[in-house]
Amino acid sequence: MKKQWELCEKLSETHDLNEEELLSLLTGRTPETDEYLRERACEECLAHYGDQVFLRGLIEFTNFCKNDCLYCGIRKGNSSIKRYRLTEGEILSCGEYGYELGFRTFVLQGGEDPYFSDDRLCRIVSSLKSRFPECAVTLSVGERTKESYQKLFQAGADRYLLRHETADCAHYRRLHPPEMSFENRMECLRNLREIGFQTGCGFMVGSPFQTPEALVKDLRFLKAFQPHMVGIGPFLPHKDTPFRDFPKGSGELTVFLLSVIRLLLPRVLLPATTALATLLPEGRELGILHGANVVMPNLSPDDAKENYTLYDHKLSSGQEAAQGLIELKESLQKIGRTATGMRGDSLMDL
């Protein structure tokens, strides 16, 4: 018990714990120490970013995917979903709509869809950047070659999100088909960072076969890699995937990990994810109250949203949608935060 408090204090003061200490932290939790870390995490977030919560306009522009990740609802092996791609014009309209609403970051997210060649994607990025020069463009389109990342960066993309999914190599193999590799994933992340993208990684909480030791590796990886952004959310099963019968990840563990990540990386950008909001009522607010400072409402057209089904019951309306922006702002106001569309670049490099 005493040891748990010492670990919490050490994490809050030094922003670091070794593997063994992290494992004790994760396995010796109590409601009191969880609450202590939550409060320290919020203080840390407020000290660096103030009361602002950054809004990102999410554009889910294709649900075609060449990969067959065992957890994901848009895996290529799922023949039950309706596949769609937005045209360049539709993507720009989403941008237009988002810009009017005050968004100054657009996140283009999609499956790994070969239709979006370097040329096509670069064109879309350049069009967005020339139409909205003061906006940041974030890409989240999976694994590509270093040359491809380079071209996208030159076309004007500012940021890139690529969750590492798990920092445990053996665990990675159990979540992915044999043609995907942990080494390539990590190589992609290193390339993105080297090229100059503000880079985001992250993982699912409670994915099948995840152990506390694997989570410790995730946390140590984050500390070593020093990403600009970290996306985490609970694993949620999808009925048309091999993982349909596995239990959901825990919301409580997810928010606890948000606090731990905020304390390990005080200046990181940390979203309260849609998966968390889908799992828990007021999940978004809870995430913010555990140290998160980003939310990503969806700007995609309704029929696109309906088919971008990474997991069952994925929220796409209400405050998850841009239409619910006023409501979202009010609910953040109620917990003492101010939503802002401003670019909100990461402070990691400062």
Residues between 289 and 318 that touch ligand 5AD (CB under 6 A): 310-311
Residue 158 or 165: which CB sits closer to ligand 5AD? 165
Q: How far is the CB of 35 from ligand 5AD (least distance, A)?
A: 26
Out of 84, 153, 182, 235, which residue is the one contacting ligand 5AD (CB under 6 A)?
235
> Residue 101 and residue 96: Cα distance in Å, rounded?
9
**160 near ligand 5AD (CB under 6 A):** no
**286 near ligand 5AD (CB under 6 A):** no
- β partners of residue 229: 200, 269
Cα 255 to Cα 252, 260, 273, distances in angstroms? 5, 9, 11
Q: 3-state SS of the chain?
A: CHHHHHHHHHHHHHCCCCHHHHHHHHHCCCHHHHHHHHHHHHHHHHHHHCCEEEECEEEEEECCCCCCCCCCCCCCCCCCCCCCECCHHHHHHHHHHHHHHCCCEEEEEECCCCCCCHHHHHHHHHHHHHHCCCCEEEEECCCCCHHHHHHHHHCCCCEEECCCECCCHHHHHHHCCCCCCHHHHHHHHHHHHHHCCEEEEEEEECCCCCCHHHHHHHHHHHHHHCCCEEEEEECCCCCCCCCCCCCCCCHHHHHHHHHHHHHHCCCCECECCHHHHHHCCCHHHHHHCCCCCEECCECCCHHHHHHCCCCCCCCCCHHHEHHHHHHHHHHHHHCCCEEECCCCCCCCCC
Residue 110 or 266: which CB sits closer to ligand 5AD? 110
**233 near ligand 5AD (CB under 6 A):** yes
Out of 71, 84, 99, 103, which residue is the one contacting ligand 5AD (CB under 6 A)?
71
Residues between 263 and 282 that touch ligand 5AD (CB under 6 A): 275
Stretch that binds ligand 5AD, among 42-50, 148-156, 228-236, 339-347 (CB under 6 A): 228-236
Q: How far is the CB of 175 from ligand 5AD (least distance, A)?
A: 9
Q: How far is the CB of 36 from ligand 5AD (least distance, A)?
A: 28
Q: Do the Cβ atoms of 155 and 195 come closer than 8 Å?
A: no
Residue 248 or 343: which CB sits closer to ligand 5AD? 248
Q: How far is the CB of 243 from ligand 5AD (least distance, A)?
A: 7
Q: How far is the CB of 254 from ligand 5AD (least distance, A)?
A: 10
Out of 38, 40, 104, 163, which residue is the one contacting ligand 5AD (CB under 6 A)?
163
> Residue 344 and residue 104: Cα distance in Å, rounded?
9
Stretch that binds ligand 5AD, among 208-216, 217-225, 233-241, 297-305 (CB under 6 A): 233-241
Stretch that binds ligand 5AD, among 28-36, 79-87, 232-240, 281-289 (CB under 6 A): 232-240
Residue 144 or 163: which CB sits closer to ligand 5AD? 163
Q: How many residues at the interface with ligand 5AD, by CB under 6 A?
A: 12
Residue 266 or 271: which CB sits closer to ligand 5AD? 271
- Which residues of the chain form contacts with ligand 5AD (CB under 6 A)? 71-72, 163, 165, 204, 233, 235-236, 238, 275, 310-311
